[in-house]
């Protein structure tokens, strides 16, 4: 029945096409037509793997599901939340100005001897995203987790490649694609057990955005803006790390400049466990190795650098 149905279908189709194709005259041609149509609509047989299991072509050539990138975000007055997560300040830069500004930064990055290092440094000092603390690194993420233009730009890049300026509701971005952090489960190192307690010292700079903008060292009202505090604290950290005795230099700087009452003990907070400190401070402290100094950590109290003592 299928053969005859195909035959009559073929005849009808040929008549509608105004005889552009010659009308079939034999049953064999109808059979050939039917076989051809059936093969064209039937899915291809799945390929066989070495162990005999089947795999479809989509599993071999499917889109990547996970990516990792760092980004430099410049917000503007049309951004959906026009407040810098780095400085805490309201954004006053127009979109056109932000476009020219970011294009200029991108040219400088590409011209640098080490583009990735230049990019990461600018992420720390210029990005308006909270990821500035991680030199712009957003970690691994899957499809559907980022705004669509950002996702598409990231997945289109090769590892180590920089994007042009990308426009999203958040602002304007330059993106650097990075290798995935995650490894296959069989290759992941054993997770390091979290200590029950740590001991840390810190140097706190309060800002006008701190929840209690009064220095515990001077008892004076704080007038330091978040951006100025960021720059000042970056300078202190660089000075401490470069010193002959970083621990001694850290304690001396905390005594002279910290706005926490721990200034009198060189910033030493003693031992503390989970839940005793603000979450960003706790996480940063427990993540450090003994003797390691953190990058800048932001909490409701202000901006900190932390030295893990034990």
Run of H or E residues at 236: helix 226-242
What DSSP line would sit under 104-164, residue for residue? HHHHHHHHSSSHHHHHHHHHHHH--SGGGGGTTEEEEEETTSS-HHHHHHHHHSPTTPBP-
Can you read off the two tokens belonging to residue 192? 């390091």
Would you please indicate which residues are annotated as catalytic (active-site) residues? 71, 129, 147, 170, 173
* Alpha-carbon span 102 to 161, nearest angstrom: 17
Run of H or E residues at 98: helix 95-111
Q: Give residues with Cβ within 8 angstroms of 115, minimum separation 6.
A: 109, 162
Can you read off the two tokens belonging to residue 96? 């056109």
Helix/strand/coil for 35: helix
* Alpha-carbon span 110 to 96, nearest angstrom: 21
Biggest alpha carbon distance in the chain? 104
Can you read off the two tokens belonging to residue 214? 């009064």
Q: Check if the beta carbon of residue 297 is closer than 8 Å to that of residue 303.
A: yes
Run of H or E residues at 204: strand 198-205
Helix/strand/coil for 95: helix
**Count of CB atoms within 10 A of residue 272's CB?**
16
Q: Give residues with Cβ within 8 angstroms of 228, minimum separation 6.
A: 207
Closest by alpha carbon to 223, among 203, 206, 202? 206
């Amino acid at each position: 029945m299928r053969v005859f149905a195909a035959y009559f279908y073929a005849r009808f189709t040929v008549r509608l096409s105004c005889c552009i194709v010659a009308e079939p005259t034999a049953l064999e041609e109808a059979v050939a037509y039917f076989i051809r149509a059936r093969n064209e609509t039937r899915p291809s047989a799945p390929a066989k793997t070495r162990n005999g299991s089947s795999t479809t072509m989509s599993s071999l050539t499917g889109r990547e599901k996970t990516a990792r990138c760092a980004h430099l975000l410049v917000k503007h007055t049309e951004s959906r939340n026009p407040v810098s997560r780095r400085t805490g300040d309201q954004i006053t830069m127009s979109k056109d100005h932000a476009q020219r500004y970011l294009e200029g930064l991108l040219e400088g990055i590409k011209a640098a001897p080490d583009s990735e290092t230049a990019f990461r440094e600018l992420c720390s000092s210029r990005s308006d995203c909270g990821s500035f603390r991680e030199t712009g690194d957003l970690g691994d993420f899957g499809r559907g987790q980022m705004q669509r233009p950002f996702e598409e730009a990231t997945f289109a890049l090769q590892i180590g490649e920089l994007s042009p300026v990308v426009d999203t509701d958040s602002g304007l971005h330059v993106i650097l694609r990075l290798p995935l952090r995650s490894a296959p489960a069989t290759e992941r190192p054993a997770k390091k057990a979290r200590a029950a307690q740590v001991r840390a010292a810190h140097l706190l700079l309060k800002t006008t955005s701190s929840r209690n903008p009064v220095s515990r060292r001077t008892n004076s009202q704080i007038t330091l803006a978040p951006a100025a505090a960021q720059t000042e604290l970056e300078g202190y950290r660089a000075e401490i790390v470069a010193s002959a005795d970083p621990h001694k230099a850290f304690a001396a700087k905390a005594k002279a400049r910290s706005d926490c009452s721990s200034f009198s003990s060189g910033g030493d907070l003693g031992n503390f466990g989970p839940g005793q400190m603000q979450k960003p401070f706790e996480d940063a402290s427990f993540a450090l190795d003994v003797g390691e100094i953190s990058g800048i950590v932001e909490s409701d109290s202000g901006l900190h650098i932390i030295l893990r003592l034990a």
